[in-house]
Amino acid sequence: MERLIEKARVLVEALPYIREFNEKTVVIKYGGAAMVDDGLKASFATDVTLLRYIGLRPVIVHGGGPQIGRMLGRVGKESTFVNGLRVTDDETMEIVEMVLGGRVNAEIVELIGRAGGRGVGLTGKDCGLLQVRKLPPIDGQDLGRVGTPETVDPQLLLTMTQNGFIPVVAPIGTDADGQTFNVNADLAAGAIASALRAEKLMLLTDVEGVLDADGKLLPSLSPLQARAQIDSGTIKGGMIPKVDCCLRAIEGGVASTHVVDGRVPHALLLEIFTDGGVGTKLAQ
């Protein structure tokens, strides 16, 4: 009986959040361990489907770096990175588009379908969703076909979410000349969240969240605090671009952003619907 009562307490705790976020858009950047471990993949698909059924409007933007790396290895092509960005020549771009827009995207849609949801696979090329510009060289290194979001046309996503579908977006965009570019998934998710005026942007990572100088989780940060933590060196390494992405999304009109540990089963539900959460929330 106590276990049943505890389940009831969880539902009661979630009620105000369900009411607050009803018909609100949540953009989720899906990547890391949550895309590799079979149990976590199924858990993620269940979470996203549940979000849709209880009234939220999830939009997924996924990565796929390890999958791209494996495919490049099969064809004997070495991966080169500059500041965490994959140098993408024409041949690599073909493989990126095949892996992200094909295999990875289709698998996520299939998992959502198994969980009872209605996922629809897209890339940023569809209906002019994601327009980009080529990134300039970094430290003299030309990155090739690597782009950064310039504009987002959210109409297709709005139509889908308003009709009960769950868009699953591969971060591939086109420039003004129609050339295809590889886009960092965090940046793509942030730009899409801003264009949709999303209630939340959630970045799934392979760490607890944003940590303080002692390595302890920071449950929440304001933009001012986050910038101070970057300046002091407390936020460092690969967490800096993620926090920068969150800050830009807030400036773009997103109500709150979250850095969440995707290694935790049902991390999305725990962060959205419990008082404590499981990651770091960044908001005004």
Q: What angle do CA 267, 83, 209 make, to 5 degrees?
A: 20
Output the six-digit token pair for 66: 């390890």
* Counted domains in the chain: 1
* DSSP one-letter code for 126: G
181: pLDDT strictly greater than 90 = yes
pLDDT at site 82: 87
Is 164 contained in some domain?
yes
Is 14 contained in some domain?
no
Quick one: average pLDDT of 234-250? Answer: 92
Output the six-digit token pair for 159: 């139509």
Q: Where are the beta strands (DSSP E) in 5-71?
A: 25-30, 57-62
Q: What angle do CA 153, 155, 158 make, to 5 degrees?
A: 125
pLDDT at site 21: 94
Q: What percent of the chain is modeled with pLDDT above 90?
A: 81
Domain containing residue 125: CATH number = 3.40.1160.10
Is 191 contained in some domain?
yes
Is 282 contained in some domain?
no
Is 261 contained in some domain?
yes
pLDDT at site 147: 96
If residue 118 lies in a helix (H) or strand (E), which one and from where to where?
none
Quick one: average pLDDT of 82-101? Answer: 92
pLDDT at site 10: 78
> Residue 69: what are its φ and ψ, rounded to 5°?
-60, -40
Query: What does each C-alpha distance from 142 to 1, 80, 86, 93, 138 come to in angstroms?
Result: 63, 11, 11, 14, 7
pLDDT at site 265: 92
Is 119 contained in some domain?
yes
9: pLDDT strictly greater than 90 = no
Q: What angle do CA 186, 115, 110 make, to 5 degrees?
A: 65
Q: Mind listing the pLDDT tens digit for each residue in 117-138?
A: 999 999 999 999 999 999 999 8
Range of the domain at 62: 27-277
Quick one: average pLDDT of 60-70? Answer: 93
pLDDT at site 32: 85
Please give the model's pTM, rounded to 2 decimal places: 0.94
Cα 6 from chain centroid? 31
Is 283 contained in some domain?
no
DSSP 161-227: HHTT-EEEEE-EEE-TT--EEEE-HHHHHHHHHHHHT-SEEEEEESSSS-B-TTS-B-SEE-HHHHH
pLDDT at site 275: 81
The dihedral built from the CA positions of residue 281, 196, 60 and 18, taken in this order, carries a sign that is positive
4: pLDDT strictly greater than 90 = no
Is 115 contained in some domain?
yes
Identify the band that residue 80 occupies on the pLDDT scale cut at 50, 70 and 90: confident
